[in-house]
Chain A
């Protein structure tokens, strides 16, 4: 189950990310240097007034990764405990216990993946602000 969930999550992330529109890059600016052919270093002439446009890509949301790691780990451990060592198998006798105890990690994993692939997270992953290209144009 865990392997399937991870595979589906990975495929989901990739395909969902692919559906998001790629933002236009910011308009580049270059000026002629004082000496002919003396070009300023890459990036030096950029308009850095918009901090969202500068710097390297930011990290994706921590909560999403936390849920994925904790949820995935809990699912893995509970699977090993139940099916590998026969522990806590009584939870299978009750659907409510199953959902709360056994599948809670799985649902946390799913929710983490959901958070990761939201459009806002996408923008963060790409190192952009969540502003749309239209909003950027308006600015």
Chain B
């Protein structure tokens, strides 16, 4: 293992001519295994359970009929009724059915399923009870329940104390660490895309530039869980947007169109109509509107797409009322826009005692709620609001109810009942790092510091040696056994943290393990899901604090007003770099389909002004009254540098 302090952020922000504040980020002290809101939820849950147990105990011990005893035993524990009727196989089946119902509850949210299965097994045991029960069950079943509760409490206390000890040790080391918190950069770093970068981007562009009703190359497995097409659209837009931010901020053209397409494809009913069923069986409400309640797995991610698009392109079309209407072509039509979605996200966050809200009914994932926070951050930045108070509420809630005493996170918590369940730790924490960096940068950096300390080994044969079995899944296609998806997510986190050493090592480990395949100049990893490939593309274009800058600070003023490349043919012209200093435009172009004579279109030039284009024999162009101009007959045979500057 590599102890982290000196290595946590090797490429510090101060190297980039950027104001930096150095802060400490100790793990908050905890005196109780659960936070206050969680404790209230747990108390409520156990009160309801205690009522059921009391009824069961009375029925079991009151000396009634065998059927009543079996019902009582069944209410004490799932399968307890069959223990009373001396049917151990059915007791095991009942227990398994109850566990399965919990899994289905977690996956799809049907809130009544677990209690229904529990009560049904008790009722079936009661109906099938014979003339004589197994008398020992009157002691065995209640004793098993007491042992279970006592054992659970004991284990929870032991684990809590061990984690608190570990947290104290970590805090001693963290005391010597200062994390650099960057502010808005004067001139964000823009690099030139390599040929590999462009091949990866072409995979994303070919997906995104399809007609709106065409879905080739997308994966349709189910629309409820992680393989749902909405996540493919989300990461498709994020990847293209990030490529624009770090490589071609002064190019809109087909990059902007690709982003608009992903946004408008999200309005397709195939993407969002799953919610009516999930809302029905999870919240017991018939409300097909996909954004009104819960469902941050759609709304938060979608809002982040909108914010990135508007930030980078300056295109405010989705601010218009009703510009984002979820309609299924029948009577149902739910008009939204960026402002109303951001307002909804703020309301959901502020209205929840956890300051987070569920994906599937009941189930809160902090990283999904971080997208809702980022939606509000971007909308407020673009429209003059202030989300700092919300960020602090989010942090306070995280510290209280979603952070373990050793600094690791609770990835999934049931918001109704309070309990949490185990989840893929590496994937969940790696996903959080880049998306928390905009609003809670010290939190994100501490999380990365802990991940680096626990999970990363740069000196061993594998850079991620101790990845858990839970992380060996590609959530984009439910393939089990491979950890490529987890590696992709860790690469993304490392890049955002500026830990290029780790990012490169993990990237190399992916390249060693997974074949790539190419078609028409587009490249992807074979066998990795669409979601995984697009997350990889996002990671490829991310650099230190890129997500933070893009979401929290936006683009600098000279980017927002300077000339930009507005038109280039695809795939004839691949734009490897496009950046403006406010007056001139620097471009690096590559041919995408062999040597070609093509034209380029520019916008936001000074109306009526003359410009010289260096790189094509100092051609001159004149901007029209709208500040637009076209440069015809550009011969593109290889890498071509152009500089469009005022004459």
Q: Which of B573-612 contact A (CB under 8 A)?
A: 598-603
**Once the chains bind, are A25 and B207 in contact (CB under 8 Å)?**
yes
Q: Is the CB of A137 within 8 A of B213?
A: no
Question: Contact at B571–A28, with CB atoms within 8 Å?
Answer: yes
Q: Does A100 contact B (CB under 8 A)?
A: no
**What residue in chain A is nearest B258 (Cβ atoms)?**
A28
Bound CA span A15–B252, Å:
39
B522 engages A24 (CB within 8 Å): yes
Contact B221 A17 (CB under 8 A): yes
> Quick check: A126 and B569 within 8 Å, CB to CB?
no
Q: Does B205 contact A (CB under 8 A)?
A: yes
Whether a CB of chain A sits under 8 angstroms from the CB of B209 is yes
**Min CB gap B98→A, angstroms:** 14
Chain B CB within 10 Å — which of A36, A38, A53, A127 has the most? A36
Contact check: which of B212, B227, B630 meets A42 at CB < 8 Å?
Answer: B212
Please determine whether B257 and A42 come into contact, CB atoms closer than 8 angstroms: yes
From known contacts A30-B209, A42-B261, A136-B519, infer whether A25 and B217 are also in contact, taking CB-CB under 8 Å.
yes
- Which residues of B from 517 to 556 have beta carbons under 8 Å from A? 517, 519-522, 524, 526-527, 529-530
| B292 interface residue per 8 A CB criterion | no
Complex formed: what's the CA distance from A136 to B522 in Å? 14
Chain B contact residue count (CB 8 A cutoff): 54
Q: How far is the CB of A3 from chain B (nearest CB, A)?
A: 10
Asked if B218 is at the interface of the complex by the 8 Å CB criterion, the answer is yes
Complex interface: chain B residues within 8 A of A128 (CB): 216
Please give me the residue from chain A that is nearest to B252 by CB atom. A37
Contacting residue for A35 out of B215, B517, B628, CB 8 A? B628
Pick the contact of A32: B530, B599, B629 (CB < 8 A): B599
Interface residue A98 (Cβ < 8 Å from any Cβ of B): no
* A window 16-66: CB within 8 A of B: 17-19, 21-33, 35-39, 42-43, 46, 53-57
* Distance in angstroms between the alpha carbons of A125 and B222 in the assembled complex: 12
Docked Cα-Cα span, A24 to B210, in Å, equals: 12
A127 to B214, CA, bound (A): 8
Chain B residue at minimal CB-CB distance from A29: B570
Query: With A and B bound together, what is the CA distance between A68 and B524 in angstroms?
Result: 36
With contact pairs A27-B206, A32-B569, A39-B253 given, residues A53 and B216 touching in the complex (Cβ less than 8 Å): yes
Binary contact track A100-139/B, C-beta < 8 Å → 1, others 0: 0000000000000000000000000111100001001100
* Least distance between A76 CB and chain B CB atoms (Å): 18
Residues of A close to B83: CB separation below 8 A: none
* CB-defined contacts of A28 to chain B, threshold 8 Å: 205-206, 208-210, 254, 570-571
Chief secondary structure at chain A's binding surface? loop
Assess whether A99 is interfacial by the CB under 8 Å rule.
no
Given contacts A18-B227, A37-B567, contact A26 B222 (CB under 8 A): no
When distances are taken between beta carbons in the complex, the residues of chain B under 8 Å from A57 are 215, 220
Taken residue by residue from 140 to 151, chain B's Cβ proximity to chain A (1 for < 8 Å, 0 otherwise) reads as: 000000000000
Are A18 and B216 touching (Cβ within 8 A)?
A: no
**Residue-by-residue, is B188-220 near A (CB-CB < 8 Å gives 1, otherwise 0)?**
000000000000000101111111111111111
* Contact of A22 with B569 in the complex, beta carbons under 8 Å: no
Considering residues B209, B219, B252, B566, which has the most beta carbons from chain A within 10 angstroms of its beta carbon? B209
CA distance A30 to B205 in the complex (A): 11
Select which of B253, B520, B527 is within 8 A of A24 by beta carbon. Answer: B520
Q: Is the CB of B571 within 8 A of A36?
A: no
List, in ascending order, chain B residues with CB within 8 A of A35's CB. Answer: 601, 628
Are B600 and A32 within 8 A (Cβ)?
yes
Taking a contact as CB atoms under 8 Å apart, the answer to whether B519 and A137 are in contact is yes
In the complex, what residues of B have CB within 8 A of residue A37's CB?
Answer: 252-253, 566-567, 601, 603, 628
User: What's the nearest-Cβ distance from chain B to residue A44, in Å?
Assistant: 8
Distance between B216 CB and nearest chain A CB, rounded to angstroms: 5
B568 at interface (Cβ–Cβ under 8 A)? yes
**Residues from chain B with Cβ under 8 Å of A42 in the complex:** 209-212, 257, 260-261
**Closest CB-CB distance, A128 to chain B, in whole Å?**
5
CA distance A76 to B519 in the complex (A): 48
Contact check, A27 vs B210: say whether CB atoms are below 8 A apart.
no
Closest 6 CB pairs of A and B: A43-B211, A25-B217, A28-B209, A36-B601, A36-B628, A18-B477
Show 29 residue pairs from A and B whose CB-CB distance is below 8 angstroms, ordered by the A residue.
A18-B479, A22-B217, A24-B217, A24-B517, A24-B519, A25-B210, A26-B206, A26-B210, A26-B217, A27-B206, A28-B209, A28-B254, A28-B570, A30-B254, A32-B567, A33-B601, A36-B566, A36-B567, A39-B254, A55-B214, A56-B214, A57-B220, A125-B220, A126-B215, A126-B216, A126-B219, A127-B215, A128-B216, A133-B519
Chain A contacts to B: CB under 8 angstroms: 14-15, 17-19, 21-33, 35-39, 42-43, 46, 53-57, 125-128, 133, 136-137
Which residues in B have some Cβ–Cβ distance to A below 8 Å? Answer: 203, 205-222, 227, 252-254, 257, 260-261, 477-479, 517, 519-522, 524, 526-527, 529-530, 566-571, 598-603, 628-630
Add 18 more A-B contacts to A17-B220, A29-B571, A32-B569 (CB < 8 A).
A18-B477, A18-B478, A19-B479, A22-B529, A24-B519, A25-B210, A26-B210, A27-B206, A31-B569, A32-B600, A36-B566, A36-B567, A37-B253, A42-B212, A43-B213, A46-B211, A126-B215, A133-B519
